[in-house]
């Protein structure tokens, strides 16, 4: 069967958790170092995007031993990664969607990915890093491109799904890694809270007749 958005996200989650904080740091650094520290109130989108991507590219050179991926050098500090059979290109989002292809024939070709049959696996994916007008990082999405609409139109997508912040995943993992004794104590505390709530509602702690 074709990979669902959730299956694809789960498969790529270790790598996405690796690159997520890179974008978080790179967006902040690019905003401060290229604009606000120099007294610029307006942020130039093209300059900002290029400054973000070059920072992330440098950070990706430090590969942890548990992750296997390859980066592809592109013009204008483009960011392309090969990982687990997927070709992932990262673009700054336009209202949460990938940017239009413009005149780029390579980007047009990348966006065209019709899915034929249940056994087709989406090879080409888009990582969308979202940035507010003031240069604040707004998160990362993973999308599966389908086709182009026009040179200056937003491309069609098969799907798009938010990438969770790594910290939220660690919190969730910690919740389910409690020891039996810790879980027992948590349940006892919850029960005490429920008992206290019953007493508070009654006012006496005894059953009303």
Q: In this structure, are residues 78 and 26 in contact, taking their beta carbons and an 8 Å threshold? A: no
Residues 84 and 57 in one domain: yes
pLDDT over threshold 60, residue 175: no
Whether residue 42 lies inside any domain: the answer is yes
Segment 126-157, tens digit of pLDDT: 999 999 999 999 999 999 999 999 999 999 99
Residues 139 and 82 in one domain: yes
pLDDT over threshold 70, residue 205: no
Number of independent structural domains in the chain? 2
Residue 9: its pLDDT value, please? 97
Residue 120 confidence class, pLDDT cut points 50, 70, 90: low
Whether residue 184 lies inside any domain: the answer is yes
Rounded distance, CA 14 to CA 166, Å? 9
Residue 192 confidence class, pLDDT cut points 50, 70, 90: low
Share of the chain above pLDDT 90, in %: 69
Residue 170: its pLDDT value, please? 74
> How much is the mean pLDDT over the chain?
85
The answer to pTM > 0.85 is no
Residues 11 and 73 in one domain: yes
Residue 199 confidence class, pLDDT cut points 50, 70, 90: very low
Cα dihedral 34, 37, 40, 41 sign: positive
Residue 112: its pLDDT value, please? 95
Residues 119 and 175 in one domain: no
Whether residue 207 lies inside any domain: the answer is no
Q: Which domain holds residue 115?
A: 5-164
Rounded distance, CA 89 to CA 79, Å? 6
Whether residue 33 lies inside any domain: the answer is yes
Residues 91 and 129 in one domain: yes
Residues 135 and 177 in one domain: no
């Amino acid at each position: 069967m074709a990979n669902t958005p959730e299956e694809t996200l789960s498969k790529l989650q270790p790598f996405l958790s690796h690159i997520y904080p890179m974008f978080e740091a790179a967006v902040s650094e690019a905003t401060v170092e290229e604009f606000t520290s120099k007294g610029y109130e307006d942020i130039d989108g093209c300059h900002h995007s290029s400054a973000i991507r070059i920072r992330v590219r440098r950070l990706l050179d430090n590969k942890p031993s548990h992750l296997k991926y390859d980066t592809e050098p592109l013009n204008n500090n483009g960011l392309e990664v090969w990982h687990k059979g997927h070709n992932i290109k990262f673009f700054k989002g336009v209202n949460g969607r990938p940017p239009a292809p413009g005149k780029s024939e390579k980007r047009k070709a990348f966006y065209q990915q019709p899915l034929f049959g249940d056994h087709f696996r989406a090879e080409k994916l888009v990582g969308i890093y979202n940035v507010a007008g003031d240069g604040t990082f707004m998160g990362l999405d993973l999308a599966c491109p389908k086709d182009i609409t026009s040179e200056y139109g937003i491309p069609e997508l098969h799907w798009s799904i938010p990438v969770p912040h790594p910290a939220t995943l660690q919190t969730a993992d910690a919740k389910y890694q409690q020891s039996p004794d810790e879980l027992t104590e948590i349940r006892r505390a919850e029960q005490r809270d429920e008992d206290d709530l019953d007493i508070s509602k009654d006012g006496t702690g005894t059953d009303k007749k």
